[in-house]
Amino acid sequence: MYIKKFFFVLFFLYPLISESDENIGKSKIFVEKLGKQVVEKVSNTEITEQERYNNFKKLYLSSFDNYYISRFVLGRYWKTIDKGIQKQFVASFNNYIVATYAPKFKGWEGTFKAVDSLYENNYYNVKMDILNEDGPALKMMWKMYLNKNKEFKILDVNIDGVSMLVTQRAEFLSVIKNHPNGVEGLIDAMNKKVTGS
């Protein structure tokens, strides 16, 4: 009787287990492909800075859950502003991220190698080594999930043990705290960073 129940449960769980295993492999492929696209479309020294900006923005918006990230980095202040300001913040933050990081990849060469992926609490945590001839391997951890359309969306990038989201939130909260216009002052500062004014 117990043996029959065991095989009954195993039979119905098998598709879920197989799907999870399959997605673990796909999560590794996803981040490796993203890394390759960054090298090809952003690092390229033969493209213009505007092309670099546009290419990075397209990759960022398609691969990252930018709405979740925007809310996270704003912390407790997210609920204190109206929907209009929230919308402004998300748009300004996305442009700020692209303007900050796109130039850093110019001429960069490296290989993105996913070494492991763990599925826990509905999230995929992909461990990756970034191999660069000019220095030691960089250790990364990508936290992501599958949305309703079965597309991976990145929530956070951990570099050598440091969460980019936590770091960015600490920086922004400091700006808001010390700026007389609070969140709107932060938005203005990000816009100036993007335009170079």
Extents of the domains making up the chain: 2-195
pLDDT in tens, 52-83: 999 999 999 999 999 999 999 999 999 999 99
Domain 2-195 class in CATH: alpha beta
pLDDT in tens, 121-135: 999 999 999 887 776
Asked if pLDDT for residue 104 goes beyond 80, the answer is: yes
Predicted TM-score (pTM) of the model is 0.85
- In the three-class reduction of DSSP (H, G, I as helix; E, B as strand; rest coil), residue 111 is classed as strand
CA angle, residues 182, 186, 191, in degrees to nearest 5: 150
Alpha helix locations (H) across the chain? 2-41, 49-63, 66-74, 83-101, 164-178, 182-195
d(CA 58, CA 129) in angstroms, rounded, equals: 24
d(CA 46, CA 138) in angstroms, rounded, equals: 26
